[in-house]
Amino acid sequence: MTSDEPSSRPNLGVAVLAAGRGTRMRSALPKVLHPVCGRPMAEHVVRAAAALRPRRIAVVVGYGAEQVQRALASEEWPLVFVEQPELLGTADAVARCREALADCTDVLVLNGDSPLVTPGLLRRLVDARGGAPLALVYARVPDAGRFGRLVRDSAGRVIRIDESPPGYRGNPEQVAERNAGQYAFDARWLWEHVARVPRSESGEYYLTHLAAVASAAGTPAVAVEAPAEEILGVDDRAALAEAERILRGRLLAAAMAAGVTIVDPATTYLEADVEFSEDVTLLPGCHLSGRTRVGAGSVIGPGTILRSAIVGRECHIELSVIEDSRLGDRVHVGPYSHVRGGADIGDDCFLGNFAEVKNSRLGPRVKMHHFSYVGDADVGEDTNIAAGTITCNFDGVTKHRTTIGRGVLLGSDTMLVAPVSVGDGARTGAGAVVTVDIPPGALAVGVPARVVREEPTSGRGA
């Protein structure tokens, strides 16, 4: 079964519980918005649920409701938001989804702080319910700690879920079946019974009470076992780091299975939205994030950062940073270079050590070997930018653009004071400070630069 196949329940609704603040996180950011491998943890849950193609996904919001809605709203999935103004527990949160999921015959309940859940587990849960009123997920752990644990009768049937008392730290020598807080319900049964859940001593209404209700009626819950890591709930920064480690391991394994060579997975950081073509090589110390795309045969690293970078085929980027920019095919960058701010680097360009390009377009085969800065510029094909050349693009108030034609040779330490243009085939002498436009084919030297010779452009940069 592939990851995007629907579940066996065509009228499936999903409730994602995402209303809590997460006080143990010690953060103003709602807990479910803390990122795990580049995505808010609740988005991982929504994506896993969306893979089952449900009729609707209701996200229960409370603390930071507007932030959560902005972060999760997308046309990718059938999402609605349900507000829980007072945090009165999981049963109260689910009950508030009744109207949003009224046309669903099955309801899947998930926690927004469990980012490692997979579509495969959710399908197993939905399918396992059969004719029972509910099914639930559990994992065998050394101790359930402060989380709920399954209690069974002598025949192995689930009779209830015991919640740990406040302050309970558990017994690490005792193996327990920890409740994951993930459930599949018959919708009619759920709506009939969730409104009757009694208030606990803590003042909250716990969804776990329904396991005892089902058992008392002679229709006990179906229990589905899962790996402990897949039900990990993130309640504090340590658990957040653990979730990050586990998910990053999955991403690295998936990339290698898809044809990417990762020389040292332990020093390679990937986020969930990064994509690769085949035969990419990642050398040690690489950090790839955002919507980065890497073309076939490219070698990245060592020590390279790509943030939302589009990298073409057969590129080599070493000890450099590429941000929000595009590189064509067979581009070399580095060491110690920085490409940023929407730069567009053409095929077969060479950016050597300590080169920076910002918000500029470089045509094919531009050479910029070392110690140069090009910002807010358009550079034609086959141009050579010698060491120390910079565009002076900011006058203290406004940033101006520089236009450099085809086949231009800029001498070392040339200063291009924008707005200014250099025509096709033109040249500058070393140390020239260009404050006026240079005609095609001309040679300009001096401070300020002046044209000392004009030549026909035939054969230059054509």
Q: What is the CATH number of domain 12-235?
A: 3.90.550.10
Check: CB of residue 444 under 8 Å from CB of residue 428: yes
Query: What's at 413, amino acid-wise?
Result: D
Check: CB of residue 290 under 8 Å from CB of residue 305: no
- Whether the per-residue pLDDT at 171 is higher than 90: the answer is no
Average pLDDT of 118-137? Answer: 97
**CA 99, CA 33: separation in Å to the nearest integer?**
25
What's residue 143's pLDDT? Answer: 72
- Residue position matching structure tokens 């969804």: 207
Lowest mean pLDDT among 74-83, 134-143, 447-456: 447-456
What's residue 194's pLDDT? Answer: 97
Lowest mean pLDDT among 127-131, 165-169, 361-365: 165-169
Q: What is the mean pLDDT of the chain?
A: 94
**What phi, psi does 405 have (nearest 5°)?**
-75, -165
- Whether the per-residue pLDDT at 458 is higher than 50: the answer is no
Give the closest residue to 48 by CA, choosing from 8, 93, 16: 16
Residue-wise pLDDT tens digits, 280-308? 999 999 999 999 999 999 999 999 999 99
Catalytic residue among 193, 209, 369, 370: 370
Q: Is there a catalytic annotation at residue 370? A: yes
Average pLDDT of 253-257? Answer: 98
**CA 321, CA 292: separation in Å to the nearest integer?**
12
CB count within 10 Å of CB 425 equals: 25
Residue-wise pLDDT tens digits, 40-66? 999 999 999 999 999 999 999 999 999
**CA 179, CA 155: separation in Å to the nearest integer?**
19
Confidence of residue 461 (pLDDT cuts 50, 70, 90): very low
| Burial readout 366-377 (b: 16 or more C-beta within 10 A, e: otherwise) | bbbebbbbbbbb
Look up residue 425 and give its two tokens: 């085939």
% of the chain with per-residue pLDDT over 90: 89
Lowest mean pLDDT among 4-18, 144-158, 210-224: 4-18
Give the closest residue to 273 by CA, choosing from 301, 247, 237, 302: 247
**CA 203, CA 205: separation in Å to the nearest integer?**
7
What's residue 165's pLDDT? Answer: 54
The CA-based dihedral angle spanning residues 17, 21, 25, 31, taken in that order and rounded to the nearest 10 degrees: 40
* 239-454 belongs to CATH 3.40.1160.10: no
Lowest mean pLDDT among 17-21, 171-175, 274-278, 444-448: 171-175
- Whether the per-residue pLDDT at 145 is higher than 80: the answer is no
**CA 374, CA 447: separation in Å to the nearest integer?**
20
Parse the chain into domains and list their residue ranges.
Answer: 12-235, 239-454
- Whether the per-residue pLDDT at 259 is higher than 70: the answer is yes
Look up residue 257 and give its two tokens: 């299975």
